[in-house]
Amino acid sequence: MRQKILVTGGAGYIGAHTASVLDKEGYEPVLLDNFSNSDRTLLSGLRKITGKQITFHEGDCNDRSLLHSIFQKEGDIAAVIHFAARRYVGESVEKPLYYYRNNVGSTITLLEVMLEHGVSDFVFSSSCTVYGQPDELPVTEDTPRKPAESPYGNTKKICEDIIQDTVLSGQPIKAAILRYFNPIGTHPSHLMGEVPHGVPNNLIPFLTQAAVGVRPELVVFGDDYDTPDGSCIRDYIDIMDLAEAHVQALKFLRSTEANSLFEIFNLGIGEGKSVLELIKTFEKATGVSLNYKIGPRRPGDVEKVYANVDKASEVLLWKATRDMSESLYNAWQWQLRLGKH
């Protein structure tokens, strides 16, 4: 009997990729999404990849009665992976209440409904944004969090605290907090990938759109940072590696005999790459020459951040294995499928 895993934000970029790995690993993903920042294309890709009609519920994670009815209808949800959240720094500065209502509200509602239905295992999408610009690199899970630079970053921090307080209070919640570094790439079938709404904020969708001609050029945000080539450094992790880490986290929770548990894991490759290095790797992997120029720094960007991933490797028995050329090649193939969208 396949265990049902509720995946909120299941039609989103990370959610849909994780659902494909859940299916492959013998779980039954049950998806919930309101399509606020996701796309039906990913659901049809997921159907083709899995060869199955994946159960899908359309709606909002803040909708308590909907959540109740899903738990009731499905009957035996074993665990929840909570991706559903808004994630744009700039938008969060303009609409803080929307971000707090959406990201924090949904996490509270979900935890309450889980407790009412006796479901304890909870995987939460957090972000390396909680570290801000760390004083020391690489960052471990014990690296102190910095005050958030944006309402978006603050929602991740607040949600982590809410989950921790719930666990500390002795409520039967077992939580794995996954702090993602920068996810890139697509499913190797190129049937799923990132579908940006409007002008992309993140590097890869912008870069592939510039390469295909949707955008006139890519602007590299600053080349005067204190890094070897002057551009910012990040830890770019392939989406399939990231998706697999969720399933490992789930297995860890399910196999740990505790009533309550709160563990944080960094998910990255453990190595920093600069924006200019990434551009070169993209050009080499795809044979496409990119039209880019150096522009001013983007406010709020940190200079460099990359992960220490020892804990995930020791406890979750997981390590990222794909290399950047492969991820960027896949991202390009996905953009070619999307065409000039």
Q: Which residues are catalytic?
A: 152
Q: Which stretch binds ligand UD1 (CB under 6 A): 47-55, 163-171, 185-193, 198-206?
A: 198-206
User: Of 219, 288, 290, 336, which one interacts with ligand UD1 (CB under 6 A)?
Assistant: 219
Residue 287 CB, shortest distance to ligand UD1, in Å, is 22
Q: Does 232 bind ligand UD1 (CB under 6 A)?
A: yes
Q: Which stretch binds ligand UD1 (CB under 6 A): 53-61, 138-146, 199-207, 327-335?
A: 199-207
Residue 174 CB, shortest distance to ligand UD1, in Å, is 24
* Contact code string over 101-140 relative to ligand UD1, x by CB under 6 A: --------------------------x-x-----------
Residue (55 or 221) nearer to ligand UD1, CB? 221
- Please name every residue paired with 123 in a beta bridge, in sequence order, or none if there are none: 81, 176
Q: Does 159 bind ligand UD1 (CB under 6 A)?
A: no
Q: Does 146 bind ligand UD1 (CB under 6 A)?
A: no
User: Of 83, 206, 262, 329, which one interacts with ligand UD1 (CB under 6 A)?
Assistant: 206
Q: Does 4 bind ligand UD1 (CB under 6 A)?
A: no
Residues 233-292 that bind ligand UD1 (CB under 6 A): 234, 275
Q: Does 300 bind ligand UD1 (CB under 6 A)?
A: yes
> For the chain, what is the HEC assignment?
CCCEEEEECCCCHHHHHHHHHHHHCCCEEEEEECCCCCCHHHHHHHHHHHCCCCEEEECCCCCHHHHHHHHHHHCCEEEEEECCCCCCHHHHHHCHHHHHHHHHHHHHHHHHHHHHCCCCEEEEEEEHHHHCCCCCCCECCCCCCCCCCCHHHHHHHHHHHHHHHHHHCCCCCEEEEEEECEEECCCCCCCCCCCCCCCCCCHHHHHHHHHHCCCCCEEEECCCCCCCCCCCEECEEEHHHHHHHHHHHHHHHHHCCCCCEEEEEEECCCCCEEHHHHHHHHHHHHCCCCCEEEECCCCCCCCECCECCHHHHHHCCCCCCCCHHHHHHHHHHHHHHHCCC
* Contact code string over 24-63 relative to ligand UD1, x by CB under 6 A: ----------------------------------------
Sites of contact with ligand UD1 (CB under 6 A): 87, 89, 127, 129, 153, 182, 201-203, 206, 218-221, 232, 234, 275, 298, 300-301
